[in-house]
Structure 1
Amino acid sequence: MSRKPSRAVMEARAPASVERDDAVTALYRALDYFPTPPWAARAGAELVQRLDPLAKTVWEPACGEGHMAGPLAEYFSVFASDIHPHGFGLVEDFLQPSLERRAWSADWVITNPPFKDLSGFVSRGLEVARSGVAMLLRTAAVESGGRYSLIQALSLQATFSERVSMRLGFWDPDHSFATTYSWFVWMHPDAEARSPLRQAIVEARAIGGWPHVLVPPGARDRLWHADDVRKYAKLAPAPLFDGASA
């Protein structure tokens, strides 16, 4: 009977995989670039609207090729930027903004950030967002002692009950991976106070937690648009290494 390789075996194989990277793959890996399925971005937009019905403007600071910014623009006025010139949005380092852009703000910062820079993106996002920050992350983001204080400050977590497929460098609409994802939301106190979900937030905080909901089955079909593949899917940039999801 065959068995799945252990975590130790997979970790031992990882350096060999990285060594096989071509220049494009190496760049995407350095950028931690895993484009968001458009339907999952729309689920995040609906979540923010539920938390803050008055939200109008959004800053998407890790926009890549627009996989999230494009769908968000169906709900909000969106400003998009990224540290790398992917051909979509302004080229700007969100964590080290230029002088003329340090005062920019929006109602919300919504993004799928480089995981290694998660804490920095949340902190910077709360500086520039008037209401809050929503981040699409691996659900395992909660499993870190170093992020304990950050996670304890959550206003809400929404975990997908369906798989959100993310691959290095491109969106593949035909594949699924075992990784689970959640929307993690942090709100300023005044935004929490006026939110329709304020009572749930207060009651969860009273027992040392935060509200945790499920994005229900069927969201993928409901939020999938007929032209998403034409707009956002592309062939894998050969010879991109076919590695695991984010």
Structure 2
Amino acid sequence: MTQAAIPRSINGPRIEAANSLDYFPTPPWATRALFAEILGTKAFRDLIVEDPACGEGHMAYVLQEVFGTVWASDVYDHGYRLNGGFALRDFLEPAAFDDLKRPDWIITNPPFGTKLLAFVRRALARARTGVAIYMPTVKLDGINRHRFVYGPRPPHTIAQFVERAPCHKGRWEPDGDTFTAYCWMIWRLDRRVKDPVFRWIPPCRSRLTFQRDIDLFGTSSAPPLSSSRGSSLTGAP
């Protein structure tokens, strides 16, 4: 199948083989929305964040706009596109991280299949201050996820995208679409939580998609954006 023939929408749940790398890059704007609409940016400049499922760097690229130090790793080298900072490590093998101190935050788009629960539990055990997981909204249910994570360690915030933030297998489509809804699950490990706060992430795709994102990662024929857009997240709430 040619690139032009690859469909740009995911019309159902992500179903992958057991040995699949489950690589569906995060739209850069969806990571920016976490800070622009939910967390703000001022508290992170002196902190370390880790993305242990970094792929080509779609999320780590945005995290560099907010955090002072970004650690990026993956179980497979998908062709990390940023300068430095990549390590080939299996996040689910604790010994692979013995040489690193614990980061302040772990923010990532993990595999959504059978490894999701293990990824979340490992992130909660490893991070010092906070964890933010990008996931399909349908993953808010599940008996085992509730038994082992959501019940004993409820998130601080569930932030639901109002507009769809599409993930496509092996690539980012700047003008792509999807039937799948996504949210951010955010744990604040320094705070006691009884019931999560629910927040909406308002429509922000056009505002938070920058021309430099498309120049670096885009694979579609989307028209160029104004060069005046996308200097930084400075001033986000």
- Bin of the TM-score, shorter chain as denominator length: 0.7 to 0.9
Question: Corresponding residue for 2:186?
Answer: 185
Structure 1 residue identity aligned to 2:123: G
Match of 1:130 in 2: 128
Distance 1:72-1:48 versus aligned 2 partners, 3 A rule: farther
- The answer to whether the 8 A contact 1:48-1:134 is kept is no
Q: Which residue of 2 aligns with 1:120?
A: 118
Note the 1:30-179 alignment, pairs <5 A. Answer: 30-46=20-36, 49-50=39-40, 53-54=43-44, 56-76=47-67, 77-88=69-80, 89-98=86-95, 101=98, 103-116=100-113, 117-149=115-147, 150-152=149-151, 153-179=154-180
Distance 1:35 1:50, change over 3 A: same
Sort the Cα spacing of 1:100 and 1:161 in 2 relative to 1 into closer, same or farther, 3 A. Answer: closer
Contact 2:131 2:187 survives alignment (8 Å): yes
Deviation at 1:100? Answer: 5.9
Name the CA distance, whole Å, in 2 between partners of 1:63 and 1:135: 12
For the residues of structure 1 that align with 2:99 and 2:35, how far apart are their CA atoms? Answer: 25
Q: Aligned equivalents of 2:104 and 2:42: distance in 1?
A: 9
Within-5 A mapping of 1:219-234: 219-234=204-219
Structure 1 residue identity aligned to 2:188: M
Q: Compared with structure 1, are the counterparts of its residues 119 and 172 closer, same or farther at alpha carbon in structure 2 (3 Å cutoff)?
A: same
User: Deviation digits for residues 121-178 of structure 1, max 9, x if unmatched?
Assistant: 1111122211021000000111211211322311110000011011111111122111
Q: Which aligned segments of 4 or more residues in structure 1 are displaced greater than 2 angstroms?
A: 44-55, 97-104
Partner of 1:212: 198
Higher helix share: 1
* AA aligned opposite 2:59: M
TM-score, normalised relative to structure 1: 0.72
Distance of 1:187 and 1:98 partners within structure 2 = 25
Larger radius of gyration: 1
Specify whether residues 52 and 183 from structure 1 end up closer, same or farther in structure 2 by C-alpha distance, changes over 3 A only.
farther
Aligned to 1:239: none
Deviations 1:175-216 (A, max 9, x none): 21111000001222xx226xxxxxxx5xxx2xxx31110001
CA deviations over 1:56-95 (Å, ceiling 9, x no partner): 2100000000011101111112110000012322100011
- Check the 8 A contact 1:59/1:80 in 2, yes or no: yes
Q: 1:51 to 1:227 in 2, by over 3 A?
A: closer
Residues 169 and 105 of structure 1: is their aligned pair in 2 closer, same or farther, counting only changes over 3 Å? same
Q: Secondary structure at the match of 2:39?
A: helix
1:164 and 1:224, CA in 2 relative to 1: closer, same or farther beyond 3 A? same
Shift of residue 32, structure 1, vs aligned partner:
0.8
Structure 1 gaps of 5+ residues are 1-9, 19-25, 194-200, 236-246
C-alpha distance 99-163 of structure 1, shift in aligned 2 (>3 A): closer
